[in-house]
Structure 1
Amino acid sequence: MKVLHVNAGLENGGGLSHIVNLLTEAKQEGKDFELLTLAEGPVAQAAREHGIETHVLGANSRYDLASLKKLTRFINDGDYDIVHTHGARANLFLSLIHKKIKATWCITVHSDPYLDFAGRSLLGKIFTSLNIRALRRADCVFAVTECFARLLINKAQVDKNKVHVIYNGIVFHNDSEIPAKYEHTYFNIINVARTEKVKGQELLLKAVKQLNDQHIRLHIAGDGSQLEPLKALTRQLNMAPQVTFHGFMTHHQLSSLYKRIDLAVLTSYSESFPLVLLEATDNLIPILSTDVGDIHRMIPGPEYGFIAKVGDIDSIAKQVNLAVNKSNKELRQMAHAEKRYAEEHFSIKNQLDSILAVYRTF
């Protein structure tokens, strides 16, 4: 079975990790998976670094529809059995040529398609509509949570027989491979996410402010349209000494920072199945999330992590405070319990096996 995964190529966050982790596992298992990005960028670069066979279509812009003929020819000449797209732009390109290709077309929905272009006025509404239409046209749709599956079936009106729930996974490391934690003075919290409204970093800032605990330090690792507004809010709240904005960080940079982190937090308004929390878990860091997506599958009880209400500053503050007031021993026990649970349920091998099982039905 020959499979081509397609992505726009400019992804820098969880989508990049999802694609590269999946194709790396496939390569190690001897599967015939390749990657095509519409443009040169971080995804192609990361894939090459992992030894994944990678092609770049060379689209001249986000809207270079002239490259559709090239894409059609590439897929048909390559004799691929499955073409698997990730992201709205790749979905759009395949929706325009899917009747001209011989391969079966699958899509992975990584995020809420109704929120992907939120706040982008008329253009955002147009892209949302085009992406929903693409989801309906595909032969197969993978949803990374049960919540997304229900949304696709009930709201987007995707044929329920096409929708399959497959949770994200990562490569977990042996505890002995995890760098030892540094001794540090403060209770360090990290938020790894794009600085966009949907990620809710303003809620976290306000929650930490509410606690009025100078022992807490907050590290925000991410870039995006809300970075400067978030910095302005930090100044407005007189929190500058407590907050560090790192901008986008590579996995290597994050690994170094994780050595002195006590809690990893996501305060998003919407999420799928966040890989950044699995990666924190792998690094034996306790996790806290708002009640988004299928987070209860990742944090099945209070002994595994903390869950706050979506959009609720008081609830977020309460959960952060619970973490801050636990002993180091209690936090270590929680981190180990969550890692053992996550390793069993959310490995990249489990994810690949589930995807292959669906591929084989075509």
Structure 2
Amino acid sequence: MKVLHVITALGVGGAEQQLRLLVRHLPVDSDVAALAALGPVADALRADGVRVAHIGMRHNRDLSALGRLTRLIRSGGYDLVHTHLYRACLYGRIAARLAGVRAIVATEHSLCETTLEGRELNAGIRGLYTATERLGRATVAVSPTVAQLLRGWGVPAGRIHTVPNGIDIDRFAYDEIRRKEARSYYALPEDAFVVGAVGRLVPTKRFEVLIQALAQLPAPVRLLVVGGGEQEAVLRGLARALGVEERVVFAGTRSYADDPAADPAPGVPSLLAAMDVLAAPATAETFGLAVLEGLAAGLPVLYTTAPALTDLPPGSVPTARRIEGGAQEYALELRRLYAAGPGDRTTPEAVAHYGIEHCAERLMDVYAAASVPDRTQTGSE
């Protein structure tokens, strides 16, 4: 089977990283096309030997990109087109149909009740989405929560398949050497208690809650923020105003690979090793990938919303605790963990449910179903 993955861009977001991980584990011949900007994930895919095409879309209404994408699909001889993220789903489904490909699968990575990919939903966005969804044969929801939202939008249950995001569990296994190296790189004392946050610096992540909580905690507690985005200046200003600027490290956007030859800064697995707890205060998440990565690294995790955990048996991840509220509630729990000191860094067995190999197998089942002409759609949630 020859598959073309179409994605809006190839920066360093969760969907982009997930696409690279999937391509490495799917037993099919995969190419990737990015509508708009290329970036670090494009470079990583090419380093993996994946063919990456740049469609060169200049703006959301650049209809010339539709023609270029259609020609790429037609000339590539693809058996199936798999789209990722809103804009790529709109253009990719139409282009695939124009090119004569009927086996079309879309993954909905970032749908919440009132937002889509961090932007507020409106009738126009929803209308375009549901209209083009009919052109495909299957829509993949990354969690039962997303599947329920799609049904509420009117997507037929028979076209919805729940396949969670996957993680390379072994990559995140705790390593004492990586912990020391990462702490040394960012001048974090070995005896500091490090609270970590991983994700895009956007309002929906609520990372300001962690800075406010930090101001209520003793000086040995530090905050390590991994990610970049529009809110960085606001968060830095808040840390300065609360007098904790020296206790907050903004690591910026980091790769998932530790490659000192290409970049001396530690990658995400090393930064997770450097932390003592991961905090995720976002109130709206599609999946909660950072929470899973923290658990895979053996960290205690505090979260407000993480649909990924609702799909696990109750009590199977005792190191994860839901926090309802804001800075005061997070500060209270962080103070308790600080007093308890570092714990065991073993990965909970339940995290194996999200191993990338297992998720790739489930996606292959969706591909097989989508490739059957005039099939009776049954869904598999």
| TM-score range for the pair, normalised by the shorter chain length | 0.7 to 0.9
Letter in structure 1 aligned against 2:31:
E
What's the CA shift string for 1:235-293, capped at 9, x where partnerless? 22222122122222222323443342111221112112233333333433332221332
Q: CA deviation at 1:317?
A: 2.7
* C-alpha distance in structure 2 between counterparts of 1:129 and 1:196, whole Å: 25
2:18 corresponds to 1:18: yes
Q: CA deviation at 1:360?
A: 1.0
Distance 1:263 1:295, change over 3 A: same
* C-alpha distance in structure 1 between counterparts of 2:253 and 2:270, whole Å: 14
Partner of 1:341: 350
Letter in structure 2 aligned against 1:358:
V
Distance 1:314 1:133, change over 3 A: farther
Partner of 1:312: 326
* C-alpha distance in structure 1 between counterparts of 2:156 and 2:50, whole Å: 33
Q: State the structure with bigger RCO (CA 8 A, min sep 6), 1 or 2.
A: 2
Q: Does the 8 Å CA contact 1:140/1:163 hold for their aligned counterparts?
A: yes
Partner of 2:207: 201
Distance 1:84 1:119, change over 3 A: closer
Q: CA deviation at 1:300?
A: 4.5
2:185 corresponds to 1:185: no
Q: Does the 8 Å CA contact 1:2/1:82 hold for their aligned counterparts?
A: yes
Match of 1:66 among 57, 64, 67: 64
What's the CA shift string for 1:55-107, capped at 9, x where partnerless? 22233444321121221122123222211111111012124435423231111
2:279 corresponds to 1:274: no
Q: Does the 8 Å CA contact 1:308/1:316 hold for their aligned counterparts?
A: no
Within-5 A mapping of 1:113-262: 114-116=114-116, 126-127=124-125, 129-154=127-152, 156-173=153-170, 178=175, 180=177, 181-182=179-180, 184-210=190-216, 212-251=217-256, 252=258, 253=266, 254-262=268-276
Q: CA deviation at 1:16?
A: 1.5
* C-alpha distance in structure 2 between counterparts of 1:175 and 1:120, whole Å: 33
The alignment of Structure 1 onto Structure 2 pairs a total of residues equal to 349
Letter in structure 2 aligned against 1:341:
A
* C-alpha distance in structure 1 between counterparts of 2:190 and 2:174, whole Å: 21
- DSSP-derived class of the 1:336 partner: coil
What's the CA shift string for 1:92-127, capped at 9, x where partnerless? 212443542323111111112541365679xx7644
Distance 1:301 1:150, change over 3 A: same
Give TM-score scaled by structure 1 length: 0.86
* C-alpha distance in structure 1 between counterparts of 2:174 and 2:204, whole Å: 33
Residue range with higher mean Cα deviation, 169-178 or 232-241: 169-178
Distance 1:317 1:177, change over 3 A: closer
- DSSP-derived class of the 1:238 partner: coil
- Listed as ranges, the gaps of 5+ residues in structure 2 are 181-188, 259-265, 371-381
Partner of 1:36: 33
Quick check: which one's helix share is greater? 1
Partner of 1:361: 369
- Listed as ranges, the gaps of 5+ residues in structure 1 are none
Distance 1:313 1:243, change over 3 A: same
* C-alpha distance in structure 2 between counterparts of 1:230 and 1:125, whole Å: 32
* C-alpha distance in structure 2 between counterparts of 1:350 and 1:120, whole Å: 33
Q: CA deviation at 1:174?
A: 7.2
Q: Does the 8 Å CA contact 2:279/2:302 hold for their aligned counterparts?
A: yes
Q: Does the 8 Å CA contact 2:196/2:279 hold for their aligned counterparts?
A: yes
The percentage of counterpart residues that share the same residue type is 26
Partner of 1:112: 111
Q: CA RMSD in A?
A: 2.7
- DSSP-derived class of the 1:278 partner: helix
Q: Does the 8 Å CA contact 2:97/2:135 hold for their aligned counterparts?
A: no
Letter in structure 2 aligned against 1:351:
C
Q: Does the 8 Å CA contact 2:173/2:296 hold for their aligned counterparts?
A: no
* C-alpha distance in structure 2 between counterparts of 1:64 and 1:310, whole Å: 43
Q: Does the 8 Å CA contact 2:144/2:162 hold for their aligned counterparts?
A: yes
Letter in structure 2 aligned against 1:247:
G
Letter in structure 1 aligned against 2:5:
H
Q: CA deviation at 1:11?
A: 3.2
Distance 1:237 1:175, change over 3 A: closer
Distance 1:131 1:178, change over 3 A: farther
* C-alpha distance in structure 1 between counterparts of 2:31 and 2:173, whole Å: 32
- DSSP-derived class of the 2:274 partner: coil
